[in-house]
Amino acid sequence: MESVTSKTLRETRRPVRSVPWSPVRVIVAVAVILALGGFPRLDAQQIPVLEKELSNGMKLLMVERSGEPRISGGWVAHVGSSNEKPGMTGIAHLFEHMMFKGTPTLGTRDAAKDREIMEQQERLRDQIRVEEARLRAALRRGEVSDITSPESKSPRHRELEAQFKKLIDAQREVLVKNEFDRIYTTAGASGMNAFTSEDMTAYFISVPANKLELWMWMESERLLRPVFREFYAERDVVFEERRMRTESTPTGKFAEQFNALFWDAHPYHWPVIGWPSDIPAISKKQADEFYALYYQPQNLTLILVGDFKAGAALPMAERYFGRIPRGAQPPPEVTTLEIPSLGEKRYHAEAETNPQVDILWRTVGFAHKDSYALEVVQQLLLGRTGRLHKGLILGAQVATDVSAQQDSRKWAGAFEISAEVKDGHTPDEVELAIGRELERLRTEDVPPDELQKVKNNFAAAEYRKLSANTPILFQLIFNEGLGDWREVNTAGAKIQAVTAADVKRVMGRYFTKENRAVAIYTRKAGTGASASEDPDMAGLSPDQKPVARQISAAIAAEKDAAGLKAQLAKIEAALGSADPKKQPLQKFMVRKITARLGELEAR
């Protein structure tokens, strides 16, 4: 299932470290960013949210908006990769895929036969797991070097896998592929999607106003009676997604290791998509237990934004979602805290990319009192008028692209600065230039007009974010998933209250040498030009180029022509009314999708 990631789209700004996405996922995310009006964080406008709780403990957030006869509906499961444990990393993201597989009445022509085949599959998987355990033991003894290689597997192991493949083929004969999506689409719904992050998993769609009850039935059914058919086949799909998004990209596998180096104790240490040895080892029994623990009503929040009346929607939600039994025990919180960093960490790697520098500092999590000043620091550094662009690109002329981001997650946070090294210069020069800009913020008061400009940009975003149902839905999903939806109405005032003294205080507290990790990427010998030299990028701003690289890689890997055509139509429809500053990126997307469609149609 296509997905937008956690940090609600801010991850697309990041040129190095990113949550894994399926190919269309990047395109969808950027389209939503453009709809939201750009890259600044969107919170703190007074959105009239009515909060209710159903009889089983499920939370319901409602925002009535007339004028457009549609409703954007979604729900948040308060579970992400940080809730996993070693040996089962990637299971939260796997569930994002499994929740679209249907119910006993959706997704199959013969529920009884479907159930029988799945039972046979589980019996066979138990035997395969015995062989897998033997294979891992052989690896520890040095008898094999690659447990994924068919040559390493015993004849018994290969025979069991052949039998299992036959069961997969048999199940496909009774499946109704994509029935969940087809029912929605036939009813006039659009934008069905989902995302998984470190802290949440969210599902969303837009439906006509007169189809609210259909949404209630469809979404409650897949929560009440989910059928995780094609579990092991979909597990393989996720593994392939990992290969495409992480292992086959110029810096993906390095960025994953750098992230693991940065976090010592915290579960943010592992990637959202999971470690490569964990994904193939997840069993359906483990998945069933994970679902029962984290997808219980008390751990879910429903969100409705659009043309409806809360007085009618509340009893309807109770009738459908209230059927889901309350969980027996509350899900456990993440209790592992990150330990203090006692020394700087450095990571050097050769990659098939232009030389670049990526620096991470440990900061604070969502709604921490210092997070607002750090958001202001981000905006002081970011953009064509920001200090990094002026200092590194226009001034010292040692970099071609720069970016900055305060990433406040649920349990902890990080501040990241990335820069691509200009030809003729070195990563050391770039690192020193970044240090000079940070030292200015640490020792000098930000001029009042510069600070006010940043605050004005935040205030302007307050108006843009109210443009439509879906942007409001995303804000509520993001803030509720991180801990408190009320931040959409309170964070703005806190940002406006940030002073020059606050900026100097957080700079001194968090931007220390001992608190950082530095990644230096140099070009691997013999590699060609990087994506930044793509002639289609002419006209893009430095902030847009890292996004464009991800878009280009995603589109090049996409095989779904129909999905690409749908995205192309949406982007072209939005071009006429788009912010002129965003149009170059939209036109870049149009060119890349058109070229990819030509390649697919020529086959």
Structure tokens, 345: 């960490």
d(CA 4, CA 152): 37
Do the domains 7-321 and 345-532 sit in the same CATH topology, yes or no? yes
Topology at the third CATH level for domain 7-321: Cytochrome Bc1 Complex; Chain A, domain 1 (3.30.830)
* pTM reported for the whole predicted model: 0.82
CA dihedral sign, ordered 561, 564, 570, 571: negative
* Residue ranges of domains in the chain: 7-321, 345-532, 544-601
Write the CATH number of the domain with boundaries 345-532: 3.30.830.10
Question: Of 102, 67, 61, which Cα lies nearest the Cα of 481?
Answer: 61
pLDDT at 61: 98
Whole-number percent of the chain with pLDDT over 90 = 71
d(CA 429, CA 461): 35
d(CA 155, CA 97): 32
Residues facing 522 on adjacent strands: 350
pLDDT band at 23 (very low <50, low <70, confident <90, very high): very low
- C-alpha to C-alpha distances, 403 to 262, 389, 428, 502, nearest whole angstrom: 19, 9, 17, 22
CB-based contacts of 141: which residues, under 8 Å, 6+ apart?
none
d(CA 190, CA 517): 42
* Mutual angle of helices 500-510 and 427-443, in 10-degree steps: 130
- C-alpha to C-alpha distances, 209 to 64, 67, 70, nearest whole angstrom: 11, 11, 4
Convert the pLDDT of each residue in 196-248 to its tens digit: 999 999 999 999 999 999 999 999 999 999 999 999 999 989 988 898 888 88
Question: Of 549, 588, 553, which Cα lies nearest the Cα of 356?
Answer: 549
pLDDT band at 601 (very low <50, low <70, confident <90, very high): low
DSSP letter (8 states) at residue 151: G
Convert the pLDDT of each residue in 396-450 to its tens digit: 999 999 999 999 999 999 999 999 999 999 999 999 999 999 999 999 999 999 9
- Beta strands 516-523 and 413-421 are unpaired
pLDDT band at 17 (very low <50, low <70, confident <90, very high): very low
Structure tokens, 444: 């000098």
Structure tokens, 6: 């956690």
pLDDT band at 491 (very low <50, low <70, confident <90, very high): very high
